[in-house]
Structure 1
Amino acid sequence: MIKLQDIKDARERISKWTHTTPVFSSQTFNMISNNSVFLKAENLQKSGSFKFRGAMNFLLSLNDEDLKHGVVTGSSGNHGQALACAGKIVGTKVTVVVPEDVSAAKLSAMEGYDAKIERCGRTSTERLKKAYEISQQTGAIFVPPFDHPWIMAGQGTIGLELVEQLGDFDAVLVPCGGCGLISGISVAVKETLKDVKVYGVEPEQSNSTYLSFKAGHLVELKNINTIADGLRTAMPGRLTFPIVQKYVDDILLVSEEEIKKAVVFLLERMKLLVEPSGAVTVAALLFGKFPLKSKKVIAILSGGNVDLFAISEWIKEAKQGG
């Protein structure tokens, strides 16, 4: 289990390369949600998502001999994109195993960072198994997308920034997939601030963290079908889940339609391009899933690597729906 000092060490290690991302607010959003909301814009992070923090921390924690062998991972896009970007910076070869239906935008970005691409299945279980096999065959270092202390500590640097930027606050909402992000952030904020609440947010159609949290043990999904491709995780990590159990207060669920409307809201009202996985926290606030009122709340916008054709269709749907 990672500690606050691990996150502080990670920040020292990666600060030269990462952006301190801005925080935005909106009076309209505050009125709709009945809270004072601040949006942490990790969609503006290098490589387009929070994943760059963990990927960079992992690579900078390896020795030169390890880096000579290259690295390999399985990813629906953002982790692979971040690792490819980080790999280019440190000078190591990167292979990414992606799902068959990988987002065109994310695939193009990974290839733009010179990553070698392998396709395998549609679930995180399938692509991570394939990535591990490649690691065994080639000697490349396997880089987990979420279930590793170096990854969690890197993502937790967001929590340190939140405290510095906003001081004390009542709650933070974090997208949940494999739980690398929420585990890192929850350790950072709960070990720093008193009485802060941490809520995870998941799509209803990819709710492995919700089911695991309620059951008290890991639950693996067999069928996943959500537009939030970064949250298509069969189950939380074996290392991340105990942290979720210790620090997270609850997991909230949002529908596919609510996610689409949140993406459109962010683009139209706040001029922020946010992918579905990053907009689930806003969906929870817009549609009454968040249980508290009149609180100072932070919503993490975890990424902005969105398919522009898809978002144009969602805008049309929103207009037709009134």
Structure 2
Amino acid sequence: MSTHFCAQNLLPVSFADLESAAKRLQGKAFKTPVMTSETVNKQTNSQVFFKCENFQRTGSFKFRGACNALMQLSEAEKQRGVLTFSSGNHAQAIALAGKLLGISTTVVMPADAPKVKQEATRGYGAEIIFYDRAQVSREKLTSRIAEERHLTIIPPYDDTRVIAGQGTAALELIAEVGELDLLLVCCGGGGLLSGCAIAAKTLSPKCKVIGVEPEQADDAARSFRTKTLQTVSNPDTIADGARTPYLGKLTFPLVLHYVDDMATVSEAEIRRTMFFMWERMKIVVEPTGVLAAAALLSGVVQAENARIGVIVSGGNVDFREVYQFFSL
């Protein structure tokens, strides 16, 4: 385990929080399938288990954290409604969770967010407020709107309830397939990575946990190695879910404590892996969703004769815009 800068009892999220989230989400979040591929097993000389969160409600793992967070609001907070900021997957998750729980939802979303994610968010009943990511700080805009409208902010990753909910993905995976030697998880703001690392280190203590980012959005990898929070501004990557500017105040210490290493993958490796999973595994996955798989299939991360878990984080592809994946 990597060196950490704070005592475990001071960390913001515990395994008990994940267990509580799992109970809370029963009957609301789907228990997503675990898939295997003989081709991948032969290529890696390992047993690889893909936890397919592209089959989760709203098409990504984000529903776990969003629903867990909204279920813990006070009655007064529920009545006032909630606000979040997101490029798409967390937006959809908040919108659907709000619809199911009877809570009004508002989302601050970049104007260039994938149309399929915009439409789904609106379809679940959320109000969308667009902004220009090159000109406006989404955090400042969100804070101003929350104050004006008296709404409760549910951040996309830097929230203890969200982190605990996301960690239930790895909790389910290990409960189903048993202990792992290696767990690969994509990383944007670090909510999924933090939560899954907590689950892995508790349920499978010898498991090595590696977070994966795009090369062009490597702030978490740099933060991990320098032990100092690094940032990235509007990175040019097709993995839109990993365009977050930095790890959070909660996720950064969790990543330092529980995660063993960080890896990065190129845009070409992301595309190749996405096409492989479309063509060979017959599942729809989005660029961010294949980051963890890309690290393994490209050889960036190598393991022999190992039991490997791979979190496939989402499958929200706008097929009207698929040409962009071929033109890069």
Write the distance in 2 (CA, Å) between the matches of 1:165 and 1:280. Answer: 22
- Paired residue secondary structure (2:228): coil
Q: Which stretch of the first structure deviates more once superposed, 264-273 or 118-127?
A: 118-127
Deviations 1:258-291 (A, max 9, x none): 1111111001000110000011111111110113
8 Å contact 2:296–2:302 — kept in the other structure?
A: no
Write the distance in 1 (CA, Å) between the matches of 2:136 and 2:17. Answer: 28
- Unpaired runs of 5+ in structure 1? none
Name 1:75's counterpart in structure 2. Answer: 86
The answer to whether 1:230 aligns with 2:241 is: yes
Residues 24 and 171 of structure 1, relative CA distance in 2, 3 Å threshold? same
- Paired residue secondary structure (1:191): helix
The answer to whether 1:18 aligns with 2:44 is: no
By how many angstroms is 1:233 displaced? 0.6
Q: Which stretch of the first structure deviates more once superposed, 122-131 or 25-34?
A: 122-131
Write the distance in 2 (CA, Å) between the matches of 1:126 and 1:301. Answer: 29
- Paired residue secondary structure (2:248): coil
Write the distance in 1 (CA, Å) between the matches of 2:320 and 2:292. Answer: 22
After TM superposition, the structure 1 = structure 2 runs for residues 39-188 of structure 1, keeping only pairs within 5 Å, are: 39-122=50-133, 126-188=137-199
By how many angstroms is 1:14 displaced? 1.3
Q: Return the letter of the residue paired with 1:20.
A: K
Select which of 198, 213, 219 maps to 1:208. 219
8 Å contact 1:73–1:128 — kept in the other structure?
A: no
Deviations 1:20-62 (A, max 9, x none): 1000011111222332211100000001100000000000001
Write the distance in 2 (CA, Å) between the matches of 1:287 and 1:156. Answer: 26
Select which of 225, 232, 257 maps to 1:246. 257
Q: Which stretch of the first structure deviates more once superposed, 284-293 or 45-54?
A: 284-293
Write the distance in 1 (CA, Å) between the matches of 2:71 and 2:86. Answer: 20
By how many angstroms is 1:128 displaced? 2.6
By how many angstroms is 1:121 displaced? 2.6
The answer to whether 1:37 aligns with 2:30 is: no
8 Å contact 1:125–1:234 — kept in the other structure?
A: no
The answer to whether 1:296 aligns with 2:307 is: yes
Deviations 1:288-317 (A, max 9, x none): 011322211011100011111333554x67
Write the distance in 2 (CA, Å) between the matches of 1:222 and 1:272. Answer: 31
8 Å contact 1:264–1:311 — kept in the other structure?
A: no
- Paired residue secondary structure (1:253): strand
Write the distance in 1 (CA, Å) between the matches of 2:284 and 2:199. Answer: 27
Write the distance in 2 (CA, Å) between the matches of 1:123 and 1:227. Answer: 17
Q: Return the letter of the residue paired with 2:184.
A: L
Q: TM-score, normalised by structure 2?
A: 0.93
Write the distance in 1 (CA, Å) between the matches of 2:302 and 2:271. Answer: 21
Write the distance in 2 (CA, Å) between the matches of 1:300 and 1:124. Answer: 33
Write the distance in 2 (CA, Å) between the matches of 1:297 and 1:79. Answer: 27
Q: Which stretch of the first structure deviates more once superposed, 78-87 or 212-221?
A: 212-221
- Unpaired runs of 5+ in structure 2? 1-11
8 Å contact 1:123–1:232 — kept in the other structure?
A: no
Write the distance in 2 (CA, Å) between the matches of 1:65 and 1:196. Answer: 42
8 Å contact 2:285–2:317 — kept in the other structure?
A: yes
8 Å contact 2:234–2:243 — kept in the other structure?
A: no
Write the distance in 1 (CA, Å) between the matches of 2:135 and 2:26. Answer: 29
Give percent identity, aligned residues only.
43
By how many angstroms is 1:222 displaced? 2.4
The answer to whether 1:269 aligns with 2:275 is: no
Q: Return the letter of the residue paired with 2:76.
A: E
Q: TM-score, normalised by structure 1?
A: 0.95
Write the distance in 2 (CA, Å) between the matches of 1:194 and 1:222. Answer: 35
Residues 61 and 123 of structure 1, relative CA distance in 2, 3 Å threshold? farther
Write the distance in 2 (CA, Å) between the matches of 1:33 and 1:308. Answer: 30
Write the distance in 1 (CA, Å) between the matches of 2:234 and 2:128. Answer: 24
Q: Return the letter of the residue paired with 1:196.
A: C
